[in-house]
Amino acid sequence: MPTEIDSGLAALSDQLILATVLLYVLAMIGYALDLGFGRIRAATATPARKLVTVGAGAPAAEDAGPADHADRGDDAADAPAATPPGPAPWVARTGAVAVALSWLGLAGNVAALITRGLAVGRWPWANMYEFVVAICIAAVGAFLVMQARQPVRFLGAFVCLAAALVLGFAVRYLHVQAGPVVPALNSYWIAIHVSAAIIAAGLFIVAGVAGILFLARKDGPSRLPAREVLERVAHQAIVIAFPIWTFAVIAGALWADKAWGRYWGWDPKEVWSFITWIAYAAYLHAKATAGWRGRAATIVQLIAFGCLIFNLVGVNIFLSGLHSYAQVP
């Protein structure tokens, strides 16, 4: 018997998505003001020590004490270091407001997905529109959790901008009316396999934003943090996301065996999920064994991020297979 659709809840879900987009846009503006008028950061996270070649038995210049400077008559040693003026008080308040708006937007995003699921009586990520809505929850949620634990508020403008644009695109081009799904998706595996993929994708998106900012950051003082900070944030997100993605791939194989009688069938979604896994595994392997750092490691990470985006979006839209449930209008 077909599932009865609660049109009232479905309409409420659509309205909550529009409110979520507005909140993300306002949060993005707040983060942008915080970033644009905040303090200027140095080019590196920690100043490099200057190596000075000295003769045998002679003290290094960097180890010279205050008395040594006085003996040389070094006036620069007594001059106070030039400290750039700090940000205005309103900047800190703007950043705090942006964080609050982000949490409100995340709450609206979650409520929109829950009401969509209640309207149709199933897990609400069975088509492309619902999946994109869930991905935005994961990305913004991952950023906010990281922001609560370490100073990564600089990512807020870019993560909220991406979430607002993606949700707007989903509303305009991917939206389908709430309804039942094909029988293959009526399984508890959708709560296991797809949930893991969504969480991992959200973390990968945060890492991808940090990687793009790494390449965009110029040498010298900048409003963005040092490249070392950006690289560390991306690496931390990927270290958490990779085992979750691995679990999602394994769970997908188990679901495929239950639904179609085989673990692997070279379906486009299966192939690109595995390609994405290999790409991120190559990044982690290069970081752990070959000692890749900086630009080279970031480029590998962004190649993996490109594989992820094509797997999440391109495969569903451009390729056909057993996973062709996008229902793109």
Mean pLDDT on 115-144 = 91
Q: Which residues lie below 8 Å from residue 228, measured CB to CB, with a gap of 6+?
A: 44, 45, 46
Tell me the per-residue pLDDT of 3-20, one tens digit each, with 9 for 90 and over: 678 889 999 999 999 999
Tell me the per-residue pLDDT of 153-195, one tens digit each, with 9 for 90 and over: 989 999 999 999 999 999 998 888 887 777 667 778 888 998 9
Average pLDDT, the chain: 81
Burial class for 256, CB neighbours closer than 10 Å (0-12, 13-18, 19+): buried
Q: pTM of the predicted model, to two decimals?
A: 0.81
Pick from 64-68, 88-92, 208-212, 218-222: least confident: 64-68
Tell me the percentage of the chain whose pLDDT exceeds 70. 78
Phi, psi at residue 227, to the nearest 5°?
A: -60, -35
Confidence class for position 1, pLDDT limits 50, 70, 90: very low
* pLDDT for res 71: 39
Burial 198-229 (b: 16+ CB within 10 A, else e): bbbbbbbbbbbbbbbbbeebeeeebebbbbeb
Residues 189 and 249: beta-carbon distance below 8 Å:
no
* pLDDT for res 327: 57
Tell me the per-residue pLDDT of 49-101, one tens digit each, with 9 for 90 and over: 443 433 444 444 444 444 444 333 444 444 444 445 556 666 678 889 999 99
Separate counts of helices (H) and strands (E) for the chain: 12, 0
Phi, psi at residue 125, to the nearest 5°?
A: -145, 55
Pick from 38-42, 146-150, 181-185: least confident: 38-42
Structure tokens at 12: 């409420």
Mean pLDDT on 184-210 = 89
Residues 127 and 325: beta-carbon distance below 8 Å:
yes
Structure tokens at 69: 């400077």
What is the H or E stretch that residue 199 is in? Answer: helix 195-216
Residues 43, 32, 92: CA angle, nearest 5 degrees? 85
Residues 284 and 277: beta-carbon distance below 8 Å:
no
Mean pLDDT on 243-269 = 87
Domains of the chain, by residue range, sit at 7-44+86-318
Rounded CA-CA distance 98/32 in Å is 9
Tell me the percentage of the chain whose pLDDT exceeds 90. 47
* pLDDT for res 217: 87
Q: How many CA atoms lie within 13 A of 327 on its CB side?
A: 18
